[in-house]
């Protein structure tokens, strides 16, 4: 017996995953991290109202989740002044990106992204047989005009653009995004990843109707709402496109308790404001620690700070490793020249105290 025969497409893919999680890194080092500052999680946690709602719902986990995510979609729609038909709920932005690629990308179709941008999107494109075309960052920011020009040149079906950006933390005004879309090819779609939107300035919001057929916006409860483990995200777009998700999505893929918690979190605006304040303070503290050690923090509109280490990728990788041996988990961009940096997620005062203690010795080791 030869065993199951996997498809030629899957056989051609590398045996890799987009990220190695902190739990796996802890197993490899044989100890937990003292400061978990690498996954851009919201260490300040979800709304207490969300926790209470999930605790109350836990006894009914024997029920499937609402396949339509009706209540959550209705609440989001009411806040945004649109209809629930503009919204689809999914298993985080990652799950929604997978569905979107499945809907629009056939084997051989071109997709455009930035070299060094969110790798999970690339993972989905490869998994469905799409062909990635990339453009470099410019001045540590995704270059939207260049992305759109590449789409026109290659006949791309999708253009991926994150604003605010991961891994650099940069942000461009929403009106610039709107103006740039005049160059989007007529048969292409802009995937606007807004995972970090709640941490950015008001000017980051794109002043276009939510049903503009040129754009689909991806948002999440993983970041500002502190529910990364719950896996709840949503996409906003033209109802005709959103309706297509119904043909292929996992209708019972949403966790019932997570749906209930996300609704409670969404309705607790005071807690969101509290988290935003905590993140702003943590960004300032990370920047101070970096400057005190001769490093350069980049401006951030996210819940992390990207720090220029003043060397190349080899030095940054060595610094990530040196910090890990001292109990501090951070990550770094993976494409030059952005890989000269490390990326530090916002943490509690205790987390950042650990970082401040570990960083000088780690730098001494790699210098």
Q: What is the pLDDT of residues 256-297, one digit of tens each?
A: 999 999 999 999 999 999 999 999 999 999 999 999 999 999
Q: Is domain 48-267 classified as CATH 3.40.640.10?
A: yes
Q: Per-residue confidence at 20, pLDDT binned at 50, 70, 90?
A: confident
CA atoms within 13 A on the CB side of 150: 22
The whole-angstrom separation of Cα 362 and Cα 107 is 45
Q: Are strands 110-114 and 87-90 parallel, antiparallel or unpaired?
A: unpaired
**Is residue 18's pLDDT more than 90?**
no
Name residues whose C-beta falls within 8 Å of residue 127's C-beta, 6 or more positions apart in sequence: 9, 10, 13, 98, 101
**Segment 49-77, tens digit of pLDDT:** 999 999 999 999 999 999 999 999 999 99
**Is residue 16's pLDDT more than 80?**
no
Question: C-alpha 95: how far from its chain's center?
Answer: 12
Given a contact cutoff of 8 angstroms between Cβ atoms, the answer to whether 245 and 51 are in contact is no
Domain boundaries, the chain: 18-45+270-366, 48-267
- Rounded to 5 degrees, what angle do the CA atoms 118, 177, 85 make? 80
The whole-angstrom separation of Cα 76 and Cα 87 is 8
If you count them, how many residues does the chain have?
A: 367
Given a contact cutoff of 8 angstroms between Cβ atoms, the answer to whether 223 and 44 are in contact is no
List 218's β-bridge partners, or say none. Answer: 193, 235
Q: Is 92 helix (H, G, I), strand (E, B) or coil?
A: helix
Crossing angle (nearest 10°) for helices 349-366 and 269-292: 30
Kindly state the tokens that stand for 363. Answer: 């730098």
**Segment 204-258, tens digit of pLDDT:** 999 999 999 999 999 999 999 999 999 999 999 999 999 999 999 999 999 999 9
Average pLDDT of the chain is 96
**Segment 93-125, tens digit of pLDDT:** 999 999 999 999 999 999 999 999 999 999 999
Q: Is domain 18-45+270-366 classified as CATH 3.90.1150.10?
A: yes
**Segment 140-177, tens digit of pLDDT:** 999 999 999 999 999 999 999 999 999 999 999 999 99
Q: Per-residue confidence at 4, pLDDT binned at 50, 70, 90?
A: confident
The whole-angstrom separation of Cα 45 and Cα 36 is 13
Q: Is 365 helix (H, G, I), strand (E, B) or coil?
A: helix
What DSSP string describes 300-325? -SSSEEEEE-SS-HHHHHHHHHHHHH
The whole-angstrom separation of Cα 238 and Cα 233 is 17
Judging by beta carbons within 10 Å of its beta carbon (0-12, 13-18, 19+), is residue 253 exposed, middle or buried?
middle
Q: How far is CA 213 from CA 58, 158, 161, 237, in A?
A: 39, 13, 16, 7
The whole-angstrom separation of Cα 227 and Cα 233 is 10
What's the longest Cα–Cα distance across the chain?
A: 63
List 113's β-bridge partners, or say none. Answer: 134
Q: What is the pTM of this model?
A: 0.96
Average pLDDT over residues 324-339: 96
Q: What are phi and psi of 170, to 5 degrees?
A: -80, 165
């Amino acid at each position: 017996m030869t065993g199951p025969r996997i498809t030629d497409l899957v056989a051609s893919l590398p045996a890799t995953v987009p990220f190695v999680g902190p739990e796996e890194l802890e197993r490899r080092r044989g100890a937990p991290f003292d400061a978990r500052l690498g996954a851009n999680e919201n260490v300040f946690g979800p709304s207490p109202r969300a926790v209470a709602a999930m605790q109350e719902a836990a006894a009914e986990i024997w029920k499937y989740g609402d396949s339509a995510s009706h209540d959550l979609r209705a609440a989001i729609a009411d806040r945004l002044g649109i209809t629930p038909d503009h919204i689809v709920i999914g298993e985080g932005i990652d799950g929604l990106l997978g569905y979107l690629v499945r809907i629009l990308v056939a084997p051989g179709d071109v997709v455009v992204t930035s070299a060094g941008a969110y790798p999970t999107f690339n993972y989905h494109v490869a998994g469905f047989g799409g062909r990635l075309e990339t453009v470099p960052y410019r001045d540590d920011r995704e270059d939207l005009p260049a992305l759109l020009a590449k789409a026109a040149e290659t006949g791309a079906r999708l253009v991926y653009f994150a604003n605010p950006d991961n891994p650099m933390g940069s942000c461009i005004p929403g009106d610039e995004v709107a103006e740039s879309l005049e160059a989007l090819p007529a048969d292409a779609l802009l995937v606007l990843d807004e995972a970090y939107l709640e941490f950015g300035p008001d000017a980051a919001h794109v002043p276009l109707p939510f049903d503009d057929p040129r754009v689909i916006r991806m948002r999440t409860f993983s970041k500002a709402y502190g529910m990364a483990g719950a896996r709840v995200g949503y996409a906003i777009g033209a109802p005709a496109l959103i309706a297509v998700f119904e043909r292929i999505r996992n209708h019972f893929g949403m966790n019932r308790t997570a749906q209930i918690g996300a609704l409670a979190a969404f309705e607790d605006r005071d807690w969101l404001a509290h988290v935003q304040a905590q993140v702003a303070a943590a960004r300032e503290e990370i920047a101070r620690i970096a400057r005190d050690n001769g490093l350069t923090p980049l401006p951030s509109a996210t819940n992390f700070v990207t720090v220029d280490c003043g060397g190349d990728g080899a030095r940054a990788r060595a610094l990530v490793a040196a910090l890990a041996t001292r109990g501090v988990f951070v990550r770094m961009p993976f494409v030059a020249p952005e890989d000269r940096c490390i990326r530090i997620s916002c943490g509690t005062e205790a987390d950042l105290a650990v970082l401040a203690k570990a960083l000088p010795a780690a730098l001494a080791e790699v210098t």
